[in-house]
Structure 1
């Protein structure tokens, strides 16, 4: 969430837990562009967090718990930020999932560095919504469409999992597939779970 002072373009962002009302204030910043495409990750137990926000199409900044300033990130350092729709921050590593790759960045020093990238071809559905819309009487419109969701998890042991879920058009049932990435030196995904309604 954010408060804004119009006279000086000053933004005061904060993280708010809607259940406990706990508030974490982030550092203020001045910007003509505002809070563009913010991405947040927070650990519910330790309250470690990472916030990435865009300045423009080529530059972004990040802040983590304990930082005393926003850290600049350029597109060359963090090229996947514009397509990233799911991320996890664990052990100083940012796992960034887009429709084509999983990219891992190391956030230890002042500037994040890319340490690994692997294709997610075959693990991730690139279509978010599909299906023909047509009038079918009293059937809710959202049931006309097939839905696809992709999520990423990093386990306590450091295993990277991608959950691929699909709900076919006119169905109430979701089908699931879970893929596990090999070691950071490997380049293959292994399908470890399938739940499909027959």
Structure 2
């Protein structure tokens, strides 16, 4: 199964140069209706030490012990990020309403531009509560490319127009031990299926 997945991913490489940051939505089989179970692939959140919107260091160890929803964005994104970030904001509101302890993390794929100050301005636009939502930067483009590939089997790459950046439009669910267990369509405005999974997971603890 894993070999087949890698062959399929390799076949998509030729598509990357032809599309912008929404490419993954077109080729992914994920759906927020039921998501895609990733546990069989043995993915985990690799070690990292990055800087958040408050210029504070955040590591993977800071997330251990709680579930975490992760996506990739950039503040100059002309299209999909303007849909994904409101969905993350809604998830944060849902989590607070139901008193479910979980983290949200948004990795910028444009780290050379997205400084902590710019990420703070961006988060403020969506009324982010930074107590459990970190917008991360403080690495090179090459580092985030490698991190996305090794952690989520997803691609980060500059688009041909030099203004867009190819990146996943999924929301990934990481469990309390750091395993990447599920992914959902980050453009889907219905957050209830994600919340349903989190309810079941946290109730079973």
TM-score category, normalised to shorter length: under 0.3
Larger relative contact order (C-alpha < 8 A, sep ≥ 6)?
Answer: 2
Q: Judging by fraction of residues, say which structure has more strand.
A: 1
Computing the radius of gyration from Cα coordinates, the structure with the larger value is 1
Report the TM-score, using the length of structure 1 for normalisation: 0.25
